[in-house]
């Protein structure tokens, strides 16, 4: 199993681009077998820049399933909106450390 961790910093005044991106990427993640663990809104930062405004955690059967989503033509069609909607994006593939 692999876990997708995404952190996002929203760009102000880009609600339309953000909506298009989020509405487009969610079905791709679910179609690849992604199971939502948690969707989070950041309310405070103890250490760091404090720019991150939201995060997403999803489990997948494999790291390849995650990679395939982001390499797909359907996802690539969303990248321009991602750049407009978010000033910073971290898309991380993780595994259980325990």
Q: Which is more confident, 36 or 49? A: 36
Query: Averaged over 24-30, what is the pLDDT?
Result: 98
Q: What is the reported pLDDT for 36?
A: 97
Fold for domain 2-94?
Alpha-Beta Plaits (3.30.70)
Q: What is the reported pLDDT for 43?
A: 93
pLDDT beyond 80 at 95: yes
Digit-coded pLDDT (tens) for 39-94? 999 999 899 887 899 999 999 999 999 999 999 999 999 999 999 999 999 999 99
Q: What share of the chain is helix, strand, coil (3-state, %, to 5)?
A: 40, 35, 30
pLDDT beyond 80 at 29: yes
| Burial of 23 per CB tally in 10 Å (0-12, 13-18, 19+) | exposed
Label residue 48 left, alpha or beta by phi (over 0 means left) and psi (-120 to 50 means alpha): left
Q: What is the reported pLDDT for 50?
A: 75
Residue closest to 11 by CA, chosen among 52, 44, 40: 52
For 46, other C-beta atoms within 10 Å of its C-beta total 5
Polymer length in residues for the chain = 98
**Domain spans, the chain:** 2-94
């Amino acid at each position: 199993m692999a876990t997708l961790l995404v952190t996002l910093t929203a760009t102000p005044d880009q609600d339309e681009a953000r909506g298009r991106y989020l509405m487009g990427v969610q079905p791709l993640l679910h179609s690849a077998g992604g199971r939502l663990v948690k969707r989070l809104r950041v309310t405070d930062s103890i250490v760091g820049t404090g720019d991150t405004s939201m995060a997403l955690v999803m489990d997948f059967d494999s790291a390849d399933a995650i990679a395939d989503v982001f390499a797909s033509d359907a996802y690539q069609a969303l990248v321009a909106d991602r750049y407009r909607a978010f000033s910073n994006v971290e898309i991380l593939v993780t595994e259980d450390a325990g």
